[in-house]
């Protein structure tokens, strides 16, 4: 059913070598590789259908518009959205969150209002709220994590109160491998009349997601993290809330009527899609979503959970390693560090073996401080990774350690 060899065949880049070794690509949380089907869609779009959408009356424009709107339907369906009116294409998760922070935040936040985030947020779900807070006088509050990296829900209960206007939380952490209890947070938010935003950059690509079941008001994710091209992101919002919001960017397409001194706004979702969108990329995302649907997100989740747990257990065998986040219930990524080898050096040494991992703060500087490190190494998996990839990682780690160890006898 889940034929890994067949899947790997769909990703041409997996056949390349790095430093004379087969590529072992384990930086999927940053961006995964793209299947041939998506690449063919991009080519096909430009070779056969390219035109600007929603405007001209000619065949190509109609085909391009149909392809773009069909991608919207596919993505809405993939995210369990009840309709397409709330499904807005953006450039990225970052832009989606900025859209809400501006168009909703600037209008609805006032002094003494509170926005509740967590200590684990990616900068993209932190900095936009810092800016919104500076502009409106609202205050930021942070739900802490427990030692194992899971959210302290008792503190969440204490922090979410009558002043809370919005709770915004990462669904799956890009560092800890945790999945946060969004339903419970949404319930807490709704009890006090606050809205709920979910940063789904690391969940939508890796597990079944239904915005309707999550109950949130906003859900943001990135196309390129779910096998789509770069340059397209998604914001889903409840239409009745989007309707009340100010526009984000002004320009073509988002208007209904324009006068020299004022304008009125287009219907949803076009009100939030100013200017020429990343049309080909959105269409490519539609194909990516078809691809994931065909695999089945339950199967993807199961495969990655197995990889995450296998990686955790194999890495645990490495002496003196520190692995961040809980042992069980992990998503398909593992952050770790080795004493005396900086993550940067480790990445470089692994690259020599053809193994691509990420090192650094993963756009989570506050979380790094909380963990007491400046950087970690991270291996993150996706649909095409195998147990052999994990074995190659561990083998390369041992080689790296041996290499660094060979210098340790040095004295001045």
Partner 1 sequence: MMRELYTQIIMDHYRCPRNHGALEHPDLEEHLLNPLCGDEVTVYATFDEDGGVAEARFEGSGCSISQASASMMTERLAGKSLEEAETEIDNFKAMMVGEMEFPENDELAALKGVIRYPSRIKCAVLAWTAFSNGLYSGERPGGGGDRDH
Q: Is 363 labeled as catalytic in the residue annotation?
A: yes
**Does residue 374 touch partner 1 according to CB under 8 A?**
yes
Q: Which stretch binds partner 1 (CB under 8 A): 51-59, 205-213, 237-245, 345-353?
A: 345-353
Classified as helix, coil or strand, 341 is strand
Instruction: Please measure the distance between the N-terminal and C-terminal CA atoms of the chain and give it in whole angstroms.
Output: 60
Least CB distance to partner 1 at residue 120 (A): 16
Classified as helix, coil or strand, 242 is helix
Given the complex with partner 1, which of 105 and 343 has the nearer CB atom? 343
User: From the list 178, 331, 359, 380, which residue makes contact with partner 1 (rule: CB under 8 A)?
Assistant: 359
Rounded distance between C-alpha atoms, residue 385 and residue 396, angstroms: 16
Q: Which stretch binds partner 1 (CB under 8 A): 41-49, 84-92, 292-300, 400-408?
A: 400-408
Angle at 366 between CA 360 and CA 372, to 5 degrees: 70
> Are the C-beta atoms of 74 and 227 separated by less than 8 Å?
no
> Are the C-beta atoms of 82 and 294 separated by less than 8 Å?
no
Least CB distance to partner 1 at residue 142 (A): 20
| Local structure of residue 201 (DSSP, 8 states) | T
Given the complex with partner 1, which of 283 and 346 has the nearer CB atom? 346
User: From the list 157, 365, 370, 395, which residue makes contact with partner 1 (rule: CB under 8 A)?
Assistant: 365
Given the complex with partner 1, which of 314 and 361 has the nearer CB atom? 361
**Does residue 350 touch partner 1 according to CB under 8 A?**
no
Interacting residues with partner 1 between 13 and 42 (CB under 8 A):
19
Q: Which stretch binds partner 1 (CB under 8 A): 136-144, 302-310, 352-360, 383-391?
A: 352-360
Least CB distance to partner 1 at residue 360 (A): 4
Least CB distance to partner 1 at residue 374 (A): 4
Rounded distance between C-alpha atoms, residue 223 and residue 73, angstroms: 14
Given the complex with partner 1, which of 76 and 363 has the nearer CB atom? 363
Given the complex with partner 1, which of 193 and 372 has the nearer CB atom? 372
Nearest Cα neighbor of 121 from 138, 105, 97 is: 97
Least CB distance to partner 1 at residue 131 (A): 17
Distance from the Cα of residue 174 to its chain's centroid: 8
Q: Which CB contacts under 8 angstroms, 24+ apart, belong to 37-43?
A: 37/10, 37/287, 37/290, 37/291, 38/227, 38/228, 38/229, 38/284, 38/287, 38/288, 38/291, 39/12, 40/287, 41/283, 41/284, 41/286, 41/287, 42/229, 42/280, 42/281, 42/283, 42/284
Residues in contact with partner 1 by CB under 8 A are 19, 342-345, 348-349, 352, 359-361, 365, 368, 374-375, 403-404, 407-408, 410-412
Which residues participate in catalysis according to the annotation? Answer: 363
């Amino acid at each position: 059913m889940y034929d890994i060899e067949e899947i790997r065949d769909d990703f041409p880049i997996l056949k390349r070598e790095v430093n004379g070794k087969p590529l072992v690509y384990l930086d999927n949380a940053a961006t995964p590789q793209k299947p041939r089907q998506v690449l063919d869609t991009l080519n096909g779009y430009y070779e056969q259908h390219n035109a600007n959408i929603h405007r001209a009356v000619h065949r190509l424009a109609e085909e391009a518009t149909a392809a773009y709107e069909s991608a919207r339907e596919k993505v809405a369906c993939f995210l369990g959205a009840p309709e397409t009116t709330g499904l807005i294409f953006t450039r990225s998760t970052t832009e989606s969150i900025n859209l809400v922070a501006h168009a909703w935040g600037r209008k609805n936040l006032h002094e003494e209002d509170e926005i509740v985030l967590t200590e684990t947020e990616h900068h993209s779900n932190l900095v936009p709220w810092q800016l919104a807070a500076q502009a409106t006088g609202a205050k930021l509050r942070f739900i802490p994590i427990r030692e194992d990296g899971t959210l302290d829900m008792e503190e969440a209960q204490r922090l979410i109160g009558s002043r809370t206007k919005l709770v915004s939380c990462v669904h799956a952490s890009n560092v800890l491998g945790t999945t946060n209890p969004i339903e419970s947070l949404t319930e807490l938010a709704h009890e006090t009349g606050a809205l709920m935003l979910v940063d789904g950059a690391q969940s939508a690509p890796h597990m079944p997601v239904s915005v309707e079941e999550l109950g949130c008001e906003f859900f943001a994710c990135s196309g390129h993290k779910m096998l789509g091209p770069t340059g397209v992101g998604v914001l889903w919002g409840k239409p009745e809330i989007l309707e009340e919001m100010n526009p984000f960017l002004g320009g073509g397409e988002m208007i209904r009527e324009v006068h020299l001194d004022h304008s009125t706004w287009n219907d949803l979702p076009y009100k939030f899609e100013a200017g020429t969108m990343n049309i080909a990329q959105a269409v490519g995302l539609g194909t990516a979503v078809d691809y994931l649907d065909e695999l089945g997100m339950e199967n993807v989740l199961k495969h990655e959970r197995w990889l995450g747990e296998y990686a955790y257990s194999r890495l645990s065998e490495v002496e003196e390693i520190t692995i961040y986040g809980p042992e069980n219930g992990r998503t398909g990524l593992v952050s770790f560090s080795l004493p005396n080898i900086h993550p940067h050096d480790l990445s470089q040494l692994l690259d020599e073996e053809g193994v691509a991992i990420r090192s650094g703060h993963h756009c989570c500087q506050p979380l790094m401080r909380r963990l007491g490190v400046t950087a970690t190494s991270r291996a993150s998996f996706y649909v095409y990774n195998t147990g052999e990839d994990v074995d190659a990682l561990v083998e390369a780690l041992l080689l790296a350690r041996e290499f660094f160890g060979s210098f340790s006898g040095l004295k001045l």
